[in-house]
Amino acid sequence: MKIEPIGPERATLLVPLLQDLHALHVEHQPERHTPDPEDADLCAWLQEWLEKPEIYALAAISPQDAVMGYLIYGMEDRPALPVRPAERRATVHHIAVTPALRQIGVGKALMTRMKQDALEKGADVIGVTYAPFNAASAALMRHFGLEPVLTMAEWRKDRETKS
């Protein structure tokens, strides 16, 4: 397996795994996610996102040139505030691994490369958000020393009644 950068011109390679990742979120949190997005819409969105200079994508590629998993992260400079110091933050936005290839180190390889790249880009903080149902992501992040530091709660207007 090799880990390589994926630019916007190759975004289509990530769509099948994004569909799997999104379906998991729809299953567990249907009120937060639109079900069954079109592949073309996801590809266009990924291309636009990956064109931003602060967004980076990595893919784990098999010896047969198949995408085994991917990770998308962003870099952000946060100025000092009276309540916290300045920081250069890397934030993991997505990580997905082909279901048949989970538990063989693909996620760890992606996180290892992301951490190396982020540190080379000057990161002094690495952060991530993950859904409470996603025990696999939580365990992977803990393995890399990322521990929960806050809890986010939401209220959402009902999509059906719009009230």
Amino acid identity, position 59? A
Q: Collect all residues with Cβ–Cβ distance below 8 Å to 50 and sequence separation of at least 6.
A: 6, 7, 8, 11, 57, 72
- Mapping DSSP to helix (H, G, I), strand (E, B) and coil, where does residue 2 land? strand
pTM here? Answer: 0.91
Calculate the dihedral angle through the C-alpha atoms of 40, 46, 47, 50, rounding to the nearest 10 degrees. Answer: -170
Is 90 in contact with 42 (CB distance < 8 Å)? no
Q: What is the pLDDT of residue 123?
A: 98
What stretches in the chain show pLDDT beneath 70?
A: 160-163
Task: Please report which residue ranges of the chain form alpha helices under DSSP H.
Answer: 15-28, 39-50, 106-120, 135-143
Element (H, E) at 89: strand 87-97
89: left (phi over 0), alpha (psi -120 to 50) or beta: beta
- Identify the CA nearest to 35 among candidates 45, 21, 22, 52: 22
Element (H, E) at 127: strand 125-128
All structural domains of the chain, each given as residue ranges with its CATH number in brackets, are: 2-143 (3.40.630.30)
Q: What does the alpha-carbon distance between residue 82 and residue 110 come to, in Å, rounded to a whole number? A: 35
Length of the chain: 163
Q: What is the pLDDT of residue 161?
A: 61
